[in-house]
A and B are shown apart, each in its own frame.
Chain A
Amino acid sequence: MIKVEGLYHSYNRDGDYAVKNASFEVPKGEVFGFLGPSGAGKSTTQGILTGLLRLQEGKVNVAGYDVKELKRSMFNKIGMSFEQSNVYSALTARENLRFYSKLFDVPTEDPDTLLKLVGLFDVADKKAGEFSKGMKHRLTFARSMMNNPELWFLDEPTTGLDPAIAATIKEIVREKNKQGVTIFLTTHNMYIADELCNRVAFIVDGEIKLIDSPRNLKLQYGQNLVDVEYGDGGSLKKETFSTVDERDIKKLQELIGRKHIATMHTKEATLEEIFIKVTGRELV
């Protein structure tokens, strides 16, 4: 569904790259996560894939279209939910969706169905300008489903939303994926990536460091951590050690020899811990 090779992007074309040599493929039906701290280049990559930013260097094929020579008909097949909600404040929720639906050449969803899906049906006739941030976000999200896209781009779909709304959004994403929709999801939230994605790419400073499924990553890195609780001068201390890192192994051996160990178990790492280990960076 998506094939990217050797993608570079520099906003000012000055050799300062927001995206560097990115290559990846997303097969049909997959939920592919782009995970990285803010400023990593996630939105930039997504912008190129959706034709908002002009392709500078590299090969990009999206839904069977070469992005270099963008054809408007590509947009009948894709949907895009923006990180920053962008709807007409002066129009009602329903009007926003209705006008948007007229811009496609393919059959579109009924605006009311979409509003019900995201819980905005009761305020369908209210101006979007009067909406809270979360409501505007849901409207933007609902709009991106208008043309029943085969390929759906979601930029930080749950960021800044309260947990209940985030849960609804996650549920919709899962449901759409079950129906066969391919999803490209951008986030700096590892829980979302963990819960929703079949595979994730770790991206830092515009570079993809690794691509794998959350499950594989946990298997590979998870068993290599040991949580140790030990007594130290009357108080209980807690530390985490790697079982592959030479220095950690030495420290662990010393600890076992000298201190009283209270508890000790290998644990499954969170995606966040794995991210930090792999990239040396935090996910914020």
Chain B
Amino acid sequence: MKLLSSLIKEIKLASHSFYFYVEIGFAVVLLIVVAYVVPDNFTSPKNEEFLYFDGPPAAFEVMLSDIDDTDGAAEAGTFKVKGETIDTTLYENDESKYYFTANADDMMTLADSKNKTGAAIHVDSTTFKTTFDYYLQGYETQRLKNLISIFHVNENAVLETAYDSQEIRVMQEVPRLSDKINILPSLLTFNASLMGFFILAAYVYLDKKEGVIKAYAVTPSPIWHYLTSKALVVMLTALVTTLIIVIPIVGAQINYALLILLVLTTGFFGSGLGLILGGFYDDMEKSFGVLFSLMIVLGLPIIAYNLPSWDPLWVKFIPSYHIVYAFRELLVPNGDIPYVLWVSLAFTAAGMLLMWICNARYKRTLSV
């Protein structure tokens, strides 16, 4: 009963507070960005190739049929390099743009200015023997150079037959999320856990400034009621802001019971961290260094998640790593439910430990 009235008071206080609206506003902004700005899938720009062809028209025809231009017609492609105009003929298919230059020098100038690889293709008009001269930038890996060297040892037709006969087995099926959905785990982790941690510390500093914790301490209500009601408010805010983003973007494609569980448990942990920070420092300025460092450390897994090539082992020991991946498991079809449950349980336990520390800490930091 006392806990309930503390909670109602905290909700009321939160609804009067600037931070609460910042959070809601932030969630709405994220929603708009994800819904309207992030495409379903990021399209990577088309590959551009700069080529010079030197050979009989018949051979060029063969090449064009390989390129298979989307509209079957050449376009003019004009470049300006150091004040000079270079005209090219552009053929384009779904994957690449092929710019044919009038001479080898133009090809080299363009390849150089665009930091691309260029090639000159010579076809002997009588023997139809084909040679390729590649112009590299110089920083290509040895592997790429090797690949280019062996690429033409055989006839195209032979190579193609070899490709087709190769069997590719997928060892593990990694479900792919659309790019729009794929950014949600980072946003939700940031929104639910990291924001909560910051906001809770801010709420506590506000209370400290007003000295109201002292007034609370001389009532029969235990300090843990105070702490719990603060945490509950932050958890509820995390839930509301999460749903603001998830419902419009994901719709019915997610298990909401598990989502709520995950948001509340990780929000509980984040609140615990915020309360610890609130308990050990007197105001925002004094805690700023620690607060900021913690935000960065907890943010690292989000970076690791978005940069597949950077995923060092130690990042897995930062708690927020598991929040990001648990959100991901909720979003992929047939995700790893036991993992989500396990993460929720672990964060509940860690949150309780933090609360227990806070309970002792807040009792000791009261003053007259």
Question: Any chain A CB within 8 A of the CB of B307?
Answer: no
**Structural contact, A75 and B215, CB atoms closer than 8 A:** no
**Structural contact, B212 and A87, CB atoms closer than 8 A:** yes
**Structural contact, A105 and B364, CB atoms closer than 8 A:** no
Question: Any chain A CB within 8 A of the CB of B210?
Answer: yes
Question: Any chain B CB within 8 A of the CB of A209?
Answer: no
**Structural contact, B217 and A52, CB atoms closer than 8 A:** yes
From B5, B211, B216, B220, name the one whose CB has the most chain A CB atoms within 10 angstroms: B220
Give the size range of A's interface with the partner: 35 or more
**Structural contact, B219 and A75, CB atoms closer than 8 A:** yes
Chain A minimum-CB-distance residue to B1: A102
> Which residues of chain B have C-beta atoms less than 8 A from A43's C-beta?
368
**Structural contact, B211 and A102, CB atoms closer than 8 A:** no
Provide the bound-state CA to CA distance between A68 and B350, in Å: 31
Provide the bound-state CA to CA distance between A88 and B203, in Å: 12
Chain B: minimal CB distance from A43 (Å): 4
> Which residues of chain A have C-beta atoms less than 8 A from B220's C-beta?
72-76, 103-105
> Which residues of chain A have C-beta atoms less than 8 A from B47's C-beta?
none
From A46, A86, A89, name the one whose CB has the most chain B CB atoms within 10 angstroms: A86
**Structural contact, B222 and A72, CB atoms closer than 8 A:** yes
Q: Which of B118-163 contact A (CB under 8 A)?
A: none
Chain B: minimal CB distance from A63 (Å): 12
Chain B: minimal CB distance from A109 (Å): 14
Chain B minimum-CB-distance residue to A147: B219
> Which residues of chain A have C-beta atoms less than 8 A from B8's C-beta?
99
> Which residues of chain A have C-beta atoms less than 8 A from B17's C-beta?
90
Q: Which of B1-30 contact A (CB under 8 A)?
A: 1-2, 5-6, 8-9, 12-13, 16-17
Cross-interface CB contact of B221 among A72, A87, A88, A89, cutoff 8 Å: A72
**Structural contact, B210 and A88, CB atoms closer than 8 A:** yes
Question: Any chain B CB within 8 A of the CB of A30?
Answer: no
> Which residues of chain A have C-beta atoms less than 8 A from B12's C-beta?
91, 95
**Structural contact, B367 and A100, CB atoms closer than 8 A:** no
B interface, over-half SS:
helix
> Which residues of chain B have C-beta atoms less than 8 A from A82's C-beta?
211, 214-215, 368
> Would A52 and B214 be within 8 Å (CB), given that A75-B219, A95-B12 are in contact?
yes
Chain B: minimal CB distance from A50 (Å): 6
**Structural contact, A51 and B210, CB atoms closer than 8 A:** no
> Which residues of chain A have C-beta atoms less than 8 A from B5's C-beta?
99, 102-103
Chain A: minimal CB distance from B18 (Å): 10
**Structural contact, B216 and A103, CB atoms closer than 8 A:** yes
**Structural contact, A91 and B214, CB atoms closer than 8 A:** no
Q: Which of A30-54 contact B (CB under 8 A)?
A: 43-44, 46-47, 50-54
Chain B: minimal CB distance from A204 (Å): 18
Question: Any chain A CB within 8 A of the CB of B74?
Answer: no
Cross-interface CB contact of B212 among A50, A76, A86, cutoff 8 Å: A86
> Which residues of chain B have C-beta atoms less than 8 A from A143's C-beta?
215
User: Could you give, for residues 67-86 of chain A, a 1 whenever the CB lies within 8 Å of some chain B CB and a 0 otherwise?
Assistant: 00000111110111011111
> Which residues of chain B have C-beta atoms less than 8 A from A90's C-beta?
13, 16-17
Chain A interface (Cβ within 8 Å of chain B)? 43-44, 46-47, 50-54, 72-76, 78-80, 82-91, 95, 99-100, 102-105, 140, 143, 155
The 5 closest A-B pairs by CB, nearest first: A86-B211, A47-B368, A102-B5, A90-B16, A103-B219
25 A–B contacts, CB within 8 A, in A order: A43-B368, A51-B217, A51-B218, A52-B366, A52-B368, A54-B364, A73-B220, A74-B220, A75-B220, A79-B218, A80-B215, A82-B368, A85-B211, A86-B211, A86-B212, A86-B214, A87-B210, A91-B12, A91-B16, A99-B9, A102-B1, A103-B216, A103-B219, A104-B219, A140-B215
